[in-house]
Each structure stands twice: as structure tokens, then as C-alpha cells.
A and B are shown apart, each in its own frame.
Chain A
Amino acid sequence: MFTSRIFRRLFIPYLLLIIGVSVVVGLVGRRQLTEAYLDRTEQALAVETRLIARLLHDQLKPSSPAEGWADDLRQYANLTGYRITVIDSAGVVLADTEADPKVMENHASRPEIRQASAAGEGLSRRPSGTVHQDLLYFAHRDIGADGATYYVRAAFHLAQLGDRLRAFYTALSGAGLGATLLAAAVCFWIARRHASPVVELTDFARAVADGDLSRRVLSAERGEFAILAASLNAMANSLSNLVTQTRQDKAELTTIVASISDGMIAVDRQQLLLLANDAAAALLGFDPGDWAGKHLWELVRNEQVLKSAADVLGTGQRATYQVSPLAGKHLELTISPLPAPEEVSRIAEATTSPEQTRIGADAAAQAGTAGTLRRAAHGLVIVAHDTTQSVRYQDLRKEFVANVSHELRTPVSVIKGFVETLLDGAMHDPQRTADYLTRIEKHVDQLTNLVSDLLELSRLESQPGIPEIVEVNPIKLIRRSVELLAPAAEKKGHQLSIDAPDELPSIQGNPDYLERAVSNLIENAIKYTPQNGTIAVAARADGAGVVIEVSDNGLGIPRQDVPRIFERFYRVDRSRSRDMGGTGLGLSIVKHVVQSHGGSIDVETQLGAGSTFRIHLPRQKI
């Protein structure tokens, strides 16, 4: 309270004013009173001196002092309390009530006597030469009974007056002090009454400014302050609501931005980051927790990104850039200029007030075009989209088309070569004709295989499900495949064996597809195992399904090729594979069949020691 400025401003001046008034009044009063008292005393002294002179008039004979009247004189002195002196015209003291006249000096030169000799009466205030006290003298000239002139002088001890005045002063200052204290107390109360609401409101305003929005003014006073307090409370309420709303909105926005899978960065004109989500940090390769207050060029050290950002800042036009390998990723960056804040508010206004939509939209359009024409972007929003996957798919598709063309052209050109040779005259030689036609047949077979594999693959890919699902006995399935391929295995001297229990749970699926898958694996094993190898086909129950394994002791697959062998036309060794009559589609088909049955395939292989392909088929597609 005492630290409050307004309290001090009210209280201290009033207090000073009151003290000042009291002091002035006291001083003036004291002066006036002293003078009035002195006047009064002088008058009384004059009157009484005249009376005493009158009383002494008849018996006083200055020539014969102290004869009888000296006693009277003493009596008068006792009655009045004055010191009375009788002096003759020459100034010789005839009698005195307080001193021995014989030792007293001549009084003719005393001011009151001189005045009296001139004007008949004289008044003087001075210390007495005889009694050494402050005295008030009054002298009266009279003609004595013997006709001689003499003076009656009465003196009043001012000390008596002083005592009385002092008592009076004490009372006066006491009263004054009391009144001052009382006034100060009242003043204090008034000051506090006026200051306390202001102090409270100030505290409240400060608390609100510091962010304590839950604070309210509690003052229950009536009048202007109550109205003010109520308005401030209302203001605090709406402010608090607004802040809560803004916080919610911001949290929502942040959550939305954070959960976008695309990277998003907003920067200002100086390329200082305003916002960045984790995806952006991951895609552009910076620390997601350490971007605040940094520039784009401090965080993203990629020439293409930085140049594109600088371009858009310069032109103010939205643009899309393809940024190739950035930490092994392909990105598509869409960089949009950020309008200046005032334009944003104008656009926001235009979209929020329906009655002004048209005009507002015009304004916004104007602002937009003018903005892009007039000056460069105020900032940027960079959206980074990870296109690695789609770039890879595109590459795969291009590769596939190239592969198909190549695979088709090879046998066709071989066939064309033989046909041309035959037409050029070789057909007249039966021996060569037979030889060429055999070779042509071989290549036509290969073409047929290729086309049928391609058709099958495209059918598998285009169909979402499996047609004609029946119960399939896996043992029968394996047996049929092995029987079908036994001649081929025998031809290369392979040992083809089946290792399966008598009973296995049946699985649901298309028997033709599944047989094709198993056959493909066995066929591959036969192809890629050198003469006199061992090929084992095994089946066993596993959990809720069946595992079929085809293992060989053949060439094996180099480690770096393993992830790609299920791709179409992927060959570990191109030249050799085609000689063996493969189409390059076999494992692709196996993978598709297994996946469409809800199963999985994996491979274990060691270069030069053989491979094991393992198909896991569930009892039922989930």
C-alpha cells in the first residue's frame, strides 16, 4: 500500500498541507496573542499607574520621602503585583518597593521618564538595570501636594506574562498537534480508499499481462471502479477464451502438420525456419529437434534444394522441382511463396465475411496478383514429397518393357535367320531343312513359353483373388509335380526325391496354380544344378499351414542378387539362363501364386553349395 504511487500522491501532499496550515495558524495565532496580551498588560499598567498616582497625589510630598505613604506604596505594590517607584523631577529615586532608593542611581535618563517629562506619560520595555529582569515600565508625571513635579513609575515583570503565555502555547500546540494527527488519519483513510482499487486493478492488469489469465478483480465496491472492474473481468474472460482457442487451434495445426507424411517447411524471407515437421527433417536430413532459429542453408546442404528456394524467393511464383538422390532419396519439392501477413489477413477477411465475399475476393485476387507482380515472396512453404518408390516403380516398368522386347526379339530374329537361310536355298537340302526346322521349333517353343508365362503373370496380377478354390492335398500336389518333371531330372542324372509324411492337412487354393508354382521351383532346381545333382522336395505341417521346400545342391545365388531374383526377367547370369530355356518369369509367377494364396516364400542359398526355396502356405487364406 505504501509503495503504491497513487497512495503516496494522495496522502503525502495532504499531510504536508495539513501540517503546513497548522504551523502557519499556530505561528500567526501565537504572535497575535502575544501582542494582544502585551497590549492588554500595557493598558492595565497605565490605568493602574494613573490610579496609584491619583491615590498618592494628596499625601505625597516629594521633599519628605517615605513619610507615611511609603507603606501605602508597598500595599499598592502587593495588590497590583507591580514594582512601584517614585522619582522626583531631578530623577532621584524617592521610594521603591523592591530596592533601596539610596543605592539606586539617577533615573532621569530612563526612556519612560524622559517620555513622561515631555508628554506626561511614558512607556518602555527593557531589562531593569537594578533588578536585572525583563520589565515593562510605565511612568506617570504628577504634581505633588507641595507643588513639586514627580513621577510615579510602575513596572510589570514580563516573566509573569511569559509563564502565562507559555501555558497557553502548550495548550495551543497540543490542540494543533492533535488536530493534525486526526486530519492525517482521515487523510490516510481517504487516500487508501481511493488508491486501493487502483492498486488492485494495477496488480490485476500486470498479472494478466504476465500471462495469468485466471486472475479476476474481486473489488466489490460500487461506482465507477465497480464498472471498471466488471469490464476488466469481462475482458480477461474473453482474452482467456481467445488464448485457449488460439492455443487449441495452434495445437491442432501443429498436430496436423506433424502427421502429414510429406515433409513441410515454412521459412521467412531470410530463409529462417518458421515451421518444420518431422517428415521434413527425415526427408531433407536434419535434426528434427534442432531447427528453430536456423536458416534453411544451415540445415539442408543440398544445392538443388537451396537453389530452388532462392529461385522462388526471387520470382514469387510457385514451382515444383525434382530433386534427385538426396541421401539416397528422390524428392519432389513444391515450393510456394508465402504472402505477406497483411495480405493474409485480407484474404482471411475475404473468406470469412460472406456479405463481402465478392468484393473481398476481388481485393484478395488483386492483392495476390499485385503481390506477385510487385515484389518477391515474403517467405516460402516447401512441401517435400518422397517419390523414391514411384521413381523405382517407373524404373521397373521401363526395365520390364525393355526386357520383354528383348526376350521376344531374340527368338524371333533367330527364327527369321533360319527362315531366310531356308528360303535362300537351304530348303532344297533335306538334311539342313530338317536341322533348321528343329531349331526353329525350339525357338518357337521358347516364344510360346514366354508368351504363356507373360499371359499367366498378367492374369495373376490383374485378378484380385484366386479362381476355383478347392481343397488341395499338398502331398498329391508334390507327387504330381515330381512325376511331371522326373524325365527332365533323369536326363541330367539328378536324384529327385520326395520327403513327406503320409498325412498332411489339406489347404484351400487353386490346384493348377499351386502345381505350377511347385513345378517352377523344381524346374529351376533341375536347371541350375550341374549334372548328377540331388534335388529334394519336402513337405511338412507347420502351425496352421504347410511348408513345401525344394532344395538342391546346385550353383546357389550370389548374395547381392538374392533380393532381386523374384523380379521379372531378372537373371543372375543372363547368357546361361536363356540357353537353359528359361523365360526369366518362373520365380515371379511362384511369388505371385504364393502371395495370392496368402503365403510367403523365402530362400536360403550359398554360392556353389545350393539353394533351398521354402514356400509357406496357410491352411486358408486369411
Chain B
Amino acid sequence: MNRHFDEQLQDVLKKIVMMGTITESMIEIAIRILMERDESLADEVFRREEEVNRMQVEIDSEAVRLTATQQPVAKDVRFLFVTSKVVTDLERIADQAKNICQNARFVLDAPPLKPMVDLPVMAESVQRMVRNSLNAIVGRDCGLAEQVMREEKRVDALRDQIFRTCLTYMMADPGTIQRAMSLILISRNLERIGDHATNIAEEVIYWIQGRDVRHQKPAQAAEPPAGGVTMAR
């Protein structure tokens, strides 16, 4: 019975990782659409988004079923609750990836506004955050999860930077407003993905160590913002 339960938990973990892998590939494709200016890939993202939605429902109901029927204790309870939250975050990440594709259309309609520098860096950072948060789940690695939480500040800084750059373009030439706005929205989408990755990382820490690290002040984290330019908000 117990062994059976362990296998079922393992199965849930496997499904989360599969879902995460699909989500990761969605971000990658969305960024490729932007960088390679190839809009034909968007269908791939939409198809995957539906699959991710389906998986979210499936994993969530499995977690509820196991909680109800197996009377899990301690770490297993936390795992099942964390599962529900993680799949929600993953589903939101997938949504954001879809949004990037939709916003990308406006950017690709017109010639490039400027050589993209910050956006690829930001995308890479966000992708790394998502990958590491999933790796933290797979490897039950709190150190990796904390790394993800630190990286979030960098992503925020990059978003602010993109915002400022686009603002100057818009002020100079109203014709660029649509493209610049879309870029700002995309940077916001990426930043949201980073937030969700951070949530996953926090949930991993809660699962492994049973301590809640949500909504802690940066002072408590004792970590200065890494890289990038910070901006008064």
C-alpha cells in the first residue's frame, strides 16, 4: 500500500516535470518567434498551451485524489499541496508564453525598432529561472531554488531598462508606439514568467524544508540586486 503510494507520488512528480518541460519549450519557441522573426511557429505554442491546460487539470485532480484517499503525512502532504500550486504557476507561465506570441505579431508587422539587446538577455535569464525551478523540484535542491529567487531582481531590472529605452523611442517618434508598447508588454510577460518561476522556487523550499519564504523583505534575504540597473519606482 505504502509502496504503491510512493509510486503514485513519483508519477505525479514525473507529470509535473513533463508539464514543465513543455512549458519551457513554449518560452523558447516564443522567444525564437521574436528573434528569428518567424511567425509560423506561433501555432506550436498555441497547441502546447492547450496541452498544458489539460495537464494542469489532470495533475491537480490527481493531487486532490491522493490527498483524499491516501491520508498523506508531513512531507507528502506538503508535496501534494505544492503540486497544486506549481501546476497553477506552470499554467500561468504557459499563458504568458502565449501572450508573448500574440504581442510578437505587432512587433513583427513592422521593421525592427532597434537591435534587440536587452530582451534576449532577459529571455535567457527567465528561461534559466524556469529551468532551475524545475531542476530544483526534480533534484529536491533548495540551493537552486534560492538561486532562482535571487535572479528575479535581475529580471525586474532588465524590464525597467527595456521600459525606459522604449519610452525614449515613443517620445521621439509616435510611429513606433505600437511596436514599442508590444515590446514593453513582452518584457512584462517575461517578468511575470520570472515571478511564477520564483513562486515555484518558494514552493520547493516549503516542500523540502517546511518553511515559508513567501513575501519576505529583500533585507531578510540579505542579497543586493544582482546586475543590471535598478531604478527608483
Interface residues of chain A, those whose CB is within 8 Å of chain B, are: 270-271, 295, 297-298, 301-303, 306
Set of chain B residues within 8 Å of A301, measured between Cβ atoms = 17, 20-21, 24, 131, 134
Q: Please pick, from B10, B21, B131, B134, the residue contacting A306 in the complex, using a CB distance under 8 A.
A: B21
A–B complex contacts, Cβ < 8 Å, 25 sampled: A270-B10, A271-B14, A295-B14, A297-B14, A297-B17, A297-B18, A297-B21, A297-B138, A298-B17, A298-B138, A298-B139, A301-B17, A301-B20, A301-B21, A301-B24, A301-B131, A301-B134, A302-B21, A302-B25, A303-B18, A303-B21, A303-B22, A303-B25, A306-B18, A306-B21
CA distance A453 to B181 in the complex (A): 51
In whole Å, how far is A298's beta carbon from the nearest beta carbon of chain B?
5
Nearest chain A residue, comparing its CB with the CB of B131:
A301
Nearest chain A residue, comparing its CB with the CB of B135:
A301
Set of chain B residues within 8 Å of A295, measured between Cβ atoms = 14
In whole Å, how far is B19's beta carbon from the nearest beta carbon of chain A?
10
Interface residues of chain B, those whose CB is within 8 Å of chain A, are: 10, 14, 17-18, 20-22, 24-25, 131, 134, 138-139
Nearest chain A residue, comparing its CB with the CB of B134:
A301
Set of chain A residues within 8 Å of B22, measured between Cβ atoms = 303
Set of chain A residues within 8 Å of B134, measured between Cβ atoms = 301
CA distance A270 to B3 in the complex (A): 14
Nearest chain B residue, comparing its CB with the CB of A304:
B25
Set of chain B residues within 8 Å of A297, measured between Cβ atoms = 14, 17-18, 21, 138
9 residue pairs, one from A and one from B, having the closest CB atoms: A298-B138, A301-B21, A297-B17, A303-B21, A303-B25, A303-B22, A297-B14, A306-B18, A306-B21
Nearest chain B residue, comparing its CB with the CB of A294:
B138
CA distance A302 to B131 in the complex (A): 11
In whole Å, how far is B221's beta carbon from the nearest beta carbon of chain A?
27
Nearest chain B residue, comparing its CB with the CB of A298:
B138
Nearest chain A residue, comparing its CB with the CB of B32:
A325
CA distance A431 to B183 in the complex (A): 57
Set of chain B residues within 8 Å of A271, measured between Cβ atoms = 14
CA distance A271 to B138 in the complex (A): 14
Set of chain B residues within 8 Å of A306, measured between Cβ atoms = 18, 21
CA distance A302 to B134 in the complex (A): 13
In whole Å, how far is A574's beta carbon from the nearest beta carbon of chain B?
18
Nearest chain A residue, comparing its CB with the CB of B23:
A303
CA distance A183 to B149 in the complex (A): 83
In whole Å, how far is A331's beta carbon from the nearest beta carbon of chain B?
15
> 19 new A-B pairs (CB below 8 Å) besides A301-B17, A302-B25?
A271-B14, A295-B14, A297-B14, A297-B18, A297-B21, A297-B138, A298-B17, A298-B138, A298-B139, A301-B21, A301-B24, A301-B131, A301-B134, A302-B21, A303-B21, A303-B22, A303-B25, A306-B18, A306-B21
CA distance A301 to B132 in the complex (A): 11
Set of chain B residues within 8 Å of A303, measured between Cβ atoms = 18, 21-22, 25
CA distance A586 to B131 in the complex (A): 47
CA distance A298 to B21 in the complex (A): 10
In whole Å, how far is A329's beta carbon from the nearest beta carbon of chain B?
14
CA distance A301 to B139 in the complex (A): 13
Please indicate which of the listed interface residues A271, A302, A303, A306 has the most CB atoms of chain B within 10 Å of its own CB: A303
In whole Å, how far is B172's beta carbon from the nearest beta carbon of chain A?
28
Set of chain A residues within 8 Å of B10, measured between Cβ atoms = 270
Set of chain A residues within 8 Å of B131, measured between Cβ atoms = 301
Nearest chain B residue, comparing its CB with the CB of A296:
B14
In whole Å, how far is A404's beta carbon from the nearest beta carbon of chain B?
25
CA distance A206 to B171 in the complex (A): 87
Set of chain A residues within 8 Å of B14, measured between Cβ atoms = 271, 295, 297
In whole Å, how far is A328's beta carbon from the nearest beta carbon of chain B?
12
CA distance A423 to B176 in the complex (A): 50
In whole Å, how far is B41's beta carbon from the nearest beta carbon of chain A?
12
CA distance A458 to B86 in the complex (A): 59
In whole Å, how far is B157's beta carbon from the nearest beta carbon of chain A?
27
In whole Å, how far is A291's beta carbon from the nearest beta carbon of chain B?
13
In whole Å, how far is A312's beta carbon from the nearest beta carbon of chain B?
16
CA distance A271 to B139 in the complex (A): 16
In whole Å, how far is A289's beta carbon from the nearest beta carbon of chain B?
15
Please indicate which of the listed interface residues B14, B17, B25 has the most CB atoms of chain A within 10 Å of its own CB: B14
Set of chain A residues within 8 Å of B21, measured between Cβ atoms = 297, 301-303, 306
CA distance A256 to B138 in the complex (A): 31
Set of chain B residues within 8 Å of A270, measured between Cβ atoms = 10
In whole Å, how far is B79's beta carbon from the nearest beta carbon of chain A?
16
In whole Å, how far is A333's beta carbon from the nearest beta carbon of chain B?
16
In whole Å, how far is A170's beta carbon from the nearest beta carbon of chain B?
72
Set of chain A residues within 8 Å of B25, measured between Cβ atoms = 302-303
Please indicate which of the listed interface residues B18, B20, B24 has the most CB atoms of chain A within 10 Å of its own CB: B18
CA distance A297 to B134 in the complex (A): 11
CA distance A271 to B131 in the complex (A): 21
Set of chain B residues within 8 Å of A302, measured between Cβ atoms = 21, 25
CA distance A271 to B14 in the complex (A): 10
Set of chain B residues within 8 Å of A298, measured between Cβ atoms = 17, 138-139
Set of chain A residues within 8 Å of B18, measured between Cβ atoms = 297, 303, 306
